[in-house]
């Protein structure tokens, strides 16, 4: 396959993992592992988390509604404190930065496709944006992964067919939706391993051979 574009999720791919940060918050708060994620999924598209990522809620209004969603499922969650954990985990991953620059230098179309919230889209927490020729943000376009329309949007803006694009994300359901449209997908659990999988797909070198691990 002649791939022309690579699309990166941000949190958990280009930056540290918010999922790991939430798990740390759960551990420190005495909650079961993945309890918060299960509650977010159970709240569905009408829940506070989904509405935040579609740009329908400002962050300040989100916290009370999110905590109510969690409380409805038996969880006592301090939303502000949890977001502090997430912010502390959001540093950029050097190996990903190097790979993105290399891809662009080689002529690949490179985009970010991220679920985020308005304050991030307005500049807070966007040190990654200059790396990409295109950044598609859920809170700006009013769609969030895994809605198929957001994948079609990023491909259309890049000028490629889904089958000509590779998508990297750390969440399985987001990858499943992309695959259903014909995109090649890579699940990012450990960044260097994911980049080596990308190298195999594209037939190029992106990672220095002596690099074995990246947080």
What's the pLDDT band for 211 if we cut at 50, 70, 90?
very low
Domains along the chain with CATH numbers = 5-16+92-202 (3.40.50.1000), 18-88 (1.10.150)
Do residues 199 and 205 touch, judged by C-beta distance below 8 A? yes
Q: What is the DSSP string of 52-118?
A: HHTTSS-HHHHHHHHHHHHHTTT----HHHHHHHHHHT-PBPHHHHHHHHHHHHTT-EEEEEE---H
pTM: 0.92
Residue 122: is its pLDDT beyond 70? yes
Average pLDDT over residues 119-134: 76
Do residues 16 and 128 touch, judged by C-beta distance below 8 A? no
Query: How remote is the C-alpha of 115 from its chain's centroid?
Result: 6
Per-residue pLDDT of 68-112, as tens digits, reads 999 999 999 999 999 999 999 989 999 999 999 999 999 999 999
Residue 152: is its pLDDT beyond 60? yes
Residue 213: is its pLDDT beyond 80? no
Which whole-number Å values give the CA distances from 11 to 30, 163, 208, in the listed order?
A: 24, 24, 23
């Amino acid at each position: 396959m002649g791939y022309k574009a690579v699309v990166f999720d941000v949190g958990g791919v280009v930056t540290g993992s918010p999922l790991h940060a939430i798990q740390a918050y759960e551990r420190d708060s005495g909650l079961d592992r993945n309890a918060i994620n299960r509650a977010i999924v159970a709240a569905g598209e009408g829940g506070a988390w989904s509405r935040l990522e579609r740009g329908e809620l400002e962050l300040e209004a989100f916290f009370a509604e999110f905590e109510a969603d969690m409380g409805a499922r038996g969880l006592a969650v301090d939303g502000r404190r949890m977001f502090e954990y997430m912010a502390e985990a959001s540093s950029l991953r050097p190996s990903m930065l190097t790979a993105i620059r290399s891809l662009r230098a080689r002529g690949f179309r490179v985009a970010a496709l991220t679920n985020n919230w308005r304050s991030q889209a307005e500049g807070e927490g966007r040190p990654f944006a200059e790396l990409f020729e295109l950044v598609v943000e859920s809170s700006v376009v009013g769609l969030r992964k895994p809605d198929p329309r957001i994948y079609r949007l990023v491909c259309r803006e890049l000028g490629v067919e889904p089958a000509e694009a590779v998508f990297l994300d750390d969440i399985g359901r987001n990858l499943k939706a992309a695959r259903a449209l014909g995109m090649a997908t890579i699940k990012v659990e450990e960044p260097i391993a994911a980049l080596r999988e990308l190298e195999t797909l594209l037939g190029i070198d992106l990672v220095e051979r002596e690099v074995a691990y990246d947080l």
